[in-house]
Every structure is written in structure tokens, then in C-alpha cells.
Amino acid sequence: MKNKIINFLRDAFPFIAVIVLWRLSAAFWNPAGILAIIPIFYCSFVRPIPWFAPFAAIFCFLIDYRFDSLVFWTVMYCLFYAIIGFQSIIDLSKQDNNALKIFMVFFGISLLILSFMNFNVSNLIRAGWTFAWVSTLYIPVTALIKRVCNDR
């Protein structure tokens, strides 16, 4: 019984991590729950988990809801999901640092597009800070997910 509960919690941890990171939104440290994009990216592309993609799309929509950005993050997620699904050159599961560079490209392009949609210096500075902060937290969050889930 104890092993079943532990295995359930290991399987549920990526889902719980997305919910917790989305709920812990703060204006400066986690605007609109954007830190939830880390486990969404990692568990969708680097270490795919069954049935995680629909869950991730829903939470991208919820991030959009808090950002007041219509369906921007949802579209970016679905677009990247399609790009990764149709190509066979890059295997994200074998990239260094849990595919940090690919995440930075995905997140950086998304933030750049988002900041140019309402262009001003304040938005560029905010986008730069958000990019630096989320990219810095990518490795610890993915390492925690990898350790808890134990990559069975």
C-alpha cells in the first residue's frame, strides 16, 4: 500500500508542480504564474509524460488568462509541440542540461514577441528580467522533477 501511494505521488508530481507554480504567482517573481512553463516544457518535450500535453495546454491557457494575453502562450506551446513532433533531427531527451538551450530559445522568442506586441522600454526590461529569472530556475526545477520522478 505504501509503495502504491509513493508511486502515485511520483507520477503525479509533474502535474502538482505545474499547479503549485501557477498558483504561486507574484508580480515580480512569478508574473501570472509563468514559472509553470518550466515543468510544462520539460514534461512535454524533454521527458514526455503520458496525458501531460492536454494538461499543459490547459495550463498554458490559464497562464494566458492571468497574463491577459488571449491565447498567446497556448498558441506558442501548440506551435512548438507541432514543430518538435514533426522534426526528427533534435532529440530533446539527449540534450545537455535538460535541454536548457532549447527552452531558452522557446521562451526567449515567446517573450520577445510578447514584448513587441506592446512595445516600450519598460516591457523590454520586464521581459529581460523574466527571461533571466525563468532560465535560471529551469535547471533546479527540472532536476527536482527528475529526482522525484526517479526516471523509471
Q: What is the pLDDT of residues 1-43, one digit of tens each?
A: 888 998 898 999 999 999 999 999 988 899 999 999 999 999 9
Calpha distance 126→129 (Å, rounded): 5
pTM (two decimals): 0.92
For residue 65, give the C-alpha cell. Answer: 488568462
DSSP state of 48: -
Q: What is the pLDDT of residues 37-84, one digit of tens each?
A: 999 999 999 999 989 999 999 999 999 999 888 899 999 999 999 998
What proportions of the chain, in percent to the nearest 5, are helix, strand and coil? 80, 0, 20
